[in-house]
């Protein structure tokens, strides 16, 4: 049967807030979790990923999990270790113990951040490209993908790891023209990842059907994802403001952009 009750971790965050709005239209009943209170949602579970008892209770009875919680920018190794590496492990253990069948894991383009960005006209980077994390943050997402593979091979717990590009209401930089995932396409992709059959552990890129696409969508489309948005409608305005991407600029040389040279740091 198709999953109905879904635990959304990181529900107070940027993507979590967008998905709380969009996913109920696909028929999901969402259970929410975050370390911060979720505005307007008094029933949301306020718990840290370090709290194994709370996680076990939170996952009990859900059909699937969308795992967005964690540090979403660069931080010290110690902080990343606790939130993203140990935290994701605790969530997978809770899911295994409670018999949850599937997790959609928010991975990131920063798993392959050091990969050269394709030049205009070159094909997008395939999902099987060697991993080249650009930060401890990207490294933690690479760990998450390997953890997902282990829990599939060893325990039969399925995961779709979504290497999200840049999920924002609108692209705000020239780089994002190549990496944008519109909120509506994110909901389409999460729905496909929750409902496709026999995914085992599948890695997909999470981007819209952008004209300047850097990340190949073959494996995402194989799940049934049909993106409808294209960042090109914002290209004129962004290029007028910021100029054409300069291939000599390190922030345009690699998929990870400014994370490669000057990563934004988690403020907490």
Beta strand 158-164 with 45-46: parallel, antiparallel or unpaired?
unpaired
How many CB atoms lie under 10 A from the CB of residue 151?
20
Among 28, 92, 137, 151, which one carries the catalytic annotation? Answer: 137
Q: Which is nearer to ligand NAI, 3 or 173 (CB)?
A: 173
Interior angle at CA 185, CA 183 and CA 189, nearest 5: 115
Residues 15-34 within binding reach of ligand NAI (CB under 6 A): 15-16, 34
Cα–Cα distance, 42 to 50 (Å, whole number): 21
Question: With binding defined as CB under 6 A, does residue 210 bind ligand 15L?
Answer: no
Question: With binding defined as CB under 6 A, does residue 166 bind ligand 15L?
Answer: yes
We find the least distance from the C-beta atom of residue 157 to ligand NAI, in angstroms, to be 19
Q: Taking CB within 5 to 8 Å according to partner kind, which of ligand 15L, ligand NAI, none is near residue 35?
A: ligand NAI
Give which of 61, 73, 134, 58 is closest to 100, Cα–Cα.
Answer: 61
Question: With binding defined as CB under 6 A, does residue 108 bind ligand 15L?
Answer: yes
Residue with tokens 């979403």, as numbered in its chain: 72
Catalytic (active site) residue 137: yes
Give which of 61, 25, 147, 164 is closest to 106, Cα–Cα.
Answer: 164
Question: With binding defined as CB under 6 A, does residue 166 bind ligand NAI?
Answer: yes
Q: Taking CB within 5 to 8 Å according to partner kind, which of ligand 15L, ligand NAI, none is near residue 202?
A: none
Among 8, 30, 49, 64, binds ligand NAI (CB under 6 A): 49
Beta bridge partners of 108: 164
Among 106, 196, 251, 260, binds ligand NAI (CB under 6 A): 106
Q: Three-state DSSP class for 214?
A: coil
Question: With binding defined as CB under 6 A, does residue 160 bind ligand NAI?
Answer: no
Sign of CA dihedral 66, 69, 74, 75: negative
Q: Taking CB within 5 to 8 Å according to partner kind, which of ligand NAI, ligand 15L, none is near residue 87?
A: ligand NAI
Terminal alpha carbon distance of the chain: 40
Which helix (H) or strand (E) is 238 found in, with range? helix 235-242
Question: With binding defined as CB under 6 A, does residue 167 bind ligand NAI?
Answer: yes
Task: Point out which span in 74-82, 103-111, 215-223, 229-237 binds ligand 15L (CB under 6 A).
Answer: 103-111
Question: With binding defined as CB under 6 A, does residue 83 bind ligand NAI?
Answer: yes
**Cα–Cα distances in angstroms (integers) from residue 176 to residues 12, 165, 194, 251, in the given order:** 23, 8, 26, 12
For ligand 15L, the binding residues (CB under 6 A) are: 72-73, 108-110, 166, 179
For ligand NAI, the binding residues (CB under 6 A) are: 10, 12-16, 34-36, 48-49, 68-72, 83, 87, 106, 108, 164, 166-167
């Amino acid at each position: 049967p198709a999953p109905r009750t879904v635990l959304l971790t990181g529900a107070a965050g940027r993507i979590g807030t967008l998905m709380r709005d969009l996913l109920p239209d696909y028929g999901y009943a969402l259970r929410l979790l975050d370390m911060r209170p979720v505005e307007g949602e008094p029933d949301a579970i306020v718990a840290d990923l370090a709290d194994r008892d709370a996680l076990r209770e939170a996952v009990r009875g859900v059909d699937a999990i969308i795992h967005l919680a964690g540090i979403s920018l660069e931080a010290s190794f110690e902080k990343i270790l606790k939130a993203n590496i140990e935290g994701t492990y605790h969530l997978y253990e809770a899911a295994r113990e409670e018999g949850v069948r599937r997790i959609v894991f928010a991975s990131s383009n920063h798993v392959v951040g050091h990969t050269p960005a394709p030049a205009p006209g070159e094909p997008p980077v395939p999902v099987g490209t060697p991993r080249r994390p650009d930060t401890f943050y990207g490294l933690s997402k690479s760990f998450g993908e390997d953890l997902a593979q282990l829990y599939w091979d060893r325990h039969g717990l399925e995961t779709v790891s979504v290497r999200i590009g840049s999920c924002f209401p609108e692209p705000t930089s020239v780089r994002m023209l190549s990496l944008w995932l519109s909120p509506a396409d994110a909901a389409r992709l999460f729905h496909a990842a929750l409902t496709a059959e026999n995914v085992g552990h599948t890695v997909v890129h999470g981007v819209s059907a952008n004209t300047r696409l850097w990340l190949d969508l073959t494996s995402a489309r194989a799940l049934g994802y049909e993106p409808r948005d294209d960042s090109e409608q914002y290209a004129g305005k962004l290029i007028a403001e910021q100029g054409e991407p300069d291939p000599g600029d390190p922030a345009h040389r690699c998929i990870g952009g400014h994370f490669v040279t000057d990563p934004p740091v988690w403020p907490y």
